[in-house]
Chain A
Amino acid sequence: MIINRCRSCGHEFLVKRVRCPSCHGEDFDQIHIHEGTVLDCVDLIATPEPFPDSYSIVLARTDNDVRLFCRSEKRVRAGTVVSISDSELGPVCSKK
């Protein structure tokens, strides 16, 4: 999973921007994230197309305090460290 890091101030964030929300810098590096710590997890039964009929959504935090969402086949508890990878549909995670 890719996040963004501002070359001027080092601020990291998930959603692409052309101007850093912290220092207004305009140059960024893309960083690959491979793991995070679960903050919370929700089981979703009514899901949007084109995703499966049910899954869990995980809100996780990286070591540098970037929060992000990813999908999990199984429910995971808060505090669990998860591996994050990219699937065809988007980011997925599983307990390490």
Chain B
Amino acid sequence: MSVVADVCFTKFGKRSEGLIDIASESSLPLVKKYGDAIDFVVVSNSYSGEYNDVSGLNNLLTTRLSLDDVPSVRVDNTSGSGGSAVLTAHSLIQSGIAKNVLVIGAEKMTGYPTRKSTKIIASLLSPEERSAGISLPSLAAFMARSYMEKYDAPRESLAGVAVKNHHNGSLNPYAHFQSEVSLEEVMQSKVIADPLRIYEYCPVSDGSVSLMMTSDEDADSISSRHVEILGIGTSAGTSSISYREDLTSIGSVARSSAIAFRNSGVTPNYIDVAELHDMASILEIVESEDVGFFKKGHGWEAIMGAETEITGSLPINTSGGLNSKGHPIGASGVAQTGEIYLQLTGTAERRQVKNAHLGFSLSMAGFGNGATAIVYGGV
């Protein structure tokens, strides 16, 4: 079994530094603590070529950290890179190939006009569909319209996700956005893709997060505070979005979550805190159902009933989520694991969930093109 033994965040947001500088900022403190023990580095990053004109990021980064001879790989699975990187580290440890893996999630995305950035991210879509002018935000709008119609969900329930997550982000010193928004502000903000508005989408952000992962046998010698990965599941869905019959459900999320819960021996109702992939407000609601937290068509009621707030029965996205914390793509899934680590070790400070013993994270690639679900516990 693998464990998360430590975490280090940078501030997310618009950063003046370059990609390797940002990645070094989160990883150097862990290298200083565990340097000689690190025998593998997994770098989660998706767009270093497109945004930063950099290839071979993992090796450039290990040299920057003077870990010149330590083997490394870069994991690119678009928005789901972080979950895939944790899965890779977990597999390296489980197989015995590595004992102590440094996972570095990093992305530097700001500095380009939004239209250029939207084009870069839309490059994960098939050419036949991209040529119609679709973008990831527009797919979320289709999902929102279908969901509201099918389940009679009020528009305010979607906006409520943004209100909740901006509140949580205001409690997270590493979050891109540090202020709350009201329901009125969300509902009156600029439309991006009808019906969804700007506060309901994640911003374009820079940022980095690093994790120290090791085996449970070695955990005590590495760190006094660690969180076990009890179960991990991964799945995929077609990259052809129009080929999917139902836009109110994400198959890869449901399948990866079912595998993670089965492997962990835990059921969704026992989870105390969860991080989901809320690139858009509607995604948090749909995922909360596909993961198994709420019955299909009832996730919106949990938002309206405050069940997913920090003080609710199942807090979701206590970090602020992608919606408020920001979405530096390669860093996001790693940050989800980092937030669950903080929550389960009781170190989440102002956003700490009471009695958090079991955690869950869902890292999603593209628009459900892939998903990695992780169940945590053992503290």
* Residue B302 lies at the interface, judged by CB distance under 8 Å to chain A: no
Checking B126, B142, B191 against A59 with a beta-carbon cut-off of 8 angstroms, the contacting residue is B142
Chain B CB within 10 Å, residue with most, of A16, A45, A55: A45
* Residue B220 lies at the interface, judged by CB distance under 8 Å to chain A: no
CB distance from B245 to the nearest CB of A (A): 8
Residue-by-residue, is B109-135 near A (CB-CB < 8 Å gives 1, otherwise 0)?
000001110110010001011111111
Q: Contact at A68–B118, with CB atoms within 8 Å?
A: no
* Residue B192 lies at the interface, judged by CB distance under 8 Å to chain A: yes
Q: Contact at A14–B122, with CB atoms within 8 Å?
A: no
Residues of A1-57 whose CB lies within 8 A of B: 13-16, 21, 40, 42-51, 55, 57
Contact (A90, B132) CB under 8 Å given A45-B193, A46-B137, A49-B118 = yes
Q: Which chain A residue shows the least CB distance to B122?
A: A48
CA distance A30 to B299 in the complex (A): 42
Q: Contact at B145–A15, with CB atoms within 8 Å?
A: no
Interface size on A, residues (CB 8 A): 27
Contacts of B138 in A (CB 8 A): 42, 44, 57
Contact (A46, B192) CB under 8 Å given A40-B146, A69-B129 = yes
Q: Contact at A49–B115, with CB atoms within 8 Å?
A: yes
* Residue B240 lies at the interface, judged by CB distance under 8 Å to chain A: yes
Q: Contact at A14–B131, with CB atoms within 8 Å?
A: no
Contacts of B135 in A (CB 8 A): 44, 46-48
Q: Is the interface of B mostly helix, strand, loop or mixed?
A: helix
Q: Contact at A71–B132, with CB atoms within 8 Å?
A: yes
CA distance A16 to B142 in the complex (A): 23
Contact (A44, B131) CB under 8 Å given A13-B240, A15-B240 = no
CA distance A13 to B239 in the complex (A): 13
* Residue B276 lies at the interface, judged by CB distance under 8 Å to chain A: no
CB distance from B8 to the nearest CB of A (A): 33
Q: Contact at B141–A49, with CB atoms within 8 Å?
A: no
Contacts of A70 in B (CB 8 A): 132
Q: Which chain B residue shows the least CB distance to A43?
A: B194
Q: Contact at A15–B133, with CB atoms within 8 Å?
A: no
* Residue B354 lies at the interface, judged by CB distance under 8 Å to chain A: no
Q: Contact at A42–B145, with CB atoms within 8 Å?
A: yes
Checking A13, A45, A46, A57 against B134 with a beta-carbon cut-off of 8 angstroms, the contacting residue is A57
Q: Contact at B141–A42, with CB atoms within 8 Å?
A: yes
CB distance from B222 to the nearest CB of A (A): 44
CA distance A59 to B143 in the complex (A): 12
CA distance A71 to B193 in the complex (A): 14
CB distance from B279 to the nearest CB of A (A): 14
Contacts of A59 in B (CB 8 A): 142, 242
Q: Contact at A45–B132, with CB atoms within 8 Å?
A: no
* Residue B155 lies at the interface, judged by CB distance under 8 Å to chain A: no
Chain A residues engaging chain B, CB cutoff 8 angstroms: 13-16, 21, 40, 42-51, 55, 57, 59, 67-71, 89-91
List 19 additional contacts besides A47-B115, A91-B131; criterion CB under 8 Å.
Answer: A14-B240, A14-B243, A15-B129, A40-B146, A42-B142, A44-B137, A44-B193, A46-B115, A48-B122, A49-B115, A57-B134, A68-B128, A68-B242, A69-B133, A71-B132, A71-B133, A89-B131, A90-B131, A90-B132
Q: Can you identify 7 A-B contacts, CB atoms within 8 angstroms? A: A15-B126, A40-B142, A45-B194, A49-B116, A49-B118, A49-B119, A68-B129
